[in-house]
């Protein structure tokens, strides 16, 4: 619950419909990584047109709370403080 609140706070300034670039900024991962998450089905995306997909903020949050994301991708410098804070508050 604490981690969910911390991730949600990090995403607060972003719109409810996220672009791949938004997700890359939020997670600290490259846009190419975000694209792979969508291709692999880890995150669902909604196509707006042939070139643009969006991801509802809640869908990204749901993925960020999975063990897959936490153990494999959340080790970047942008998210380490959030994880450390969640451990301390726990």
Q: What is the pLDDT of residues 37-74, one digit of tens each?
A: 999 999 999 998 888 899 999 999 999 888 888 877 76
Furthest CA-CA distance within the chain: 44
Q: Which residues pair with 18 in a beta bridge?
A: 55
Do 27 and 37 meet the contact criterion of CB atoms below 8 Å apart? no
Cα gap 62→65, rounded to integer Å: 5
| pTM exceeds 0.85, yes or no | no
């Amino acid at each position: 619950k604490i981690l969910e609140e911390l991730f949600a706070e990090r995403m607060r300034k972003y719109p409810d419909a996220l672009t791949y670039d938004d997700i890359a900024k939020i997670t600290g991962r490259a846009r190419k990584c975000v694209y792979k998450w969508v291709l692999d089905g880890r995150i669902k995306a909604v196509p707006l047109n042939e070139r643009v997909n969006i991801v509802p903020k809640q869908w990204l949050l749901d993925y960020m709370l999975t063990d897959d994301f936490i153990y494999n991708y959340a080790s970047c410098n942008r998210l380490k403080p959030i994880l450390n804070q969640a451990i301390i508050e726990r």
